[in-house]
Homo-oligomer: A and B are copies of this chain.
Amino acid sequence: MSTPTPSELRLPVQMAVVADPGTKAGPRVQQVTEILRTAIISGRFEPGDRLIESALSAELGTSRGPVREALRQLENEGLVMSFPYRGAVVLGVSDEEVQEVLIPIRLTLERYSWAQALEQLTDDDFAELGKQIWLMEQAGKANDLIKLVEADLAFHEIVISASGQLHTVQLWRTIWPRIRAYFYRYERFRSFEETVHEHRELLEALQTRDRAVVLGVLERHIDVAAPPAAPKVKRP
């Protein structure tokens, strides 16, 4: 509700790393976007919270420009909504919209791009997919949910990117943040083992390069990953 105080935000860890040589991830606006996106998805910001340009830019040690652009980006990812002269607030996602809109769209996107990718995946890509599975296993050993989701995401993005369809990739990047925010908010996670196992199946399916096989496994994966309508789990 209220404007978060600086101490509540607690973004300082990632913020001061302007000169970290290993993490130099290009333009500032992208760093800002990612910090804020993570803060929202992980729940450090909650729906209804206001995001104030000047506060954020001070917090992150940049000028208002990059923050403005980052907020616009997040708006296009459906994580915040902004109104002229009134600023941006963090958005929530309804269970219904996720089930009835976002997941079906995700299915449309992935179905198409996986079919496309079938013929285009290189050995390098397969290796990269294997790497992500390995990362999932490591995340499991470390019990690191963040890393698990990260690898899961990377896995899918590799395939979608391999399809070479610009708009499909672009739309994917637009919808995954809210799906992810939804999963974090409602703790709708699967076990590490299941996740690893399913992605193994997906990779094996891809290696057959058999369209029917791939799409079959894929649809099952996405459906299972998003069980229709949560049971009445209380969440205060």
How far is it, in angstroms, between the C-alpha of A108 and the C-alpha of B25 when the chains are bound?
36
Chain A interface SS verdict (over half): helix
Q: List A130-176 residues whose CB lies under 8 Å from chain B.
A: 165-168, 170-171, 174-175
How far is it, in angstroms, between the C-alpha of A94 and the C-alpha of B165 when the chains are bound?
9
Q: List the one stretch of A1-9, A11-19, A70-78, A194-202 in contact with chain B.
A: A70-78
Q: Does A104 contact B (CB under 8 A)?
A: yes
How far is it, in angstroms, between the C-alpha of A149 and the C-alpha of B207 when the chains are bound?
45
Q: How many copies altogether?
A: 2
How far in angstroms is the closest Cβ of chain B from A41? 15
The interface size bin for chain A is 20 to 34
How far is it, in angstroms, between the C-alpha of A175 and the C-alpha of B166 when the chains are bound?
13
Q: Given A69-B69, A69-B72, A108-B105, is A168 in contact with B27 using a C-beta cutoff of 8 Å?
A: no
Residues of A within 8 A of B (CB): 26-27, 30, 65, 68-69, 72-73, 76, 78, 81, 84-85, 91, 93-94, 97, 100-102, 104-105, 108-109, 112, 165-168, 170-171, 174-175, 178
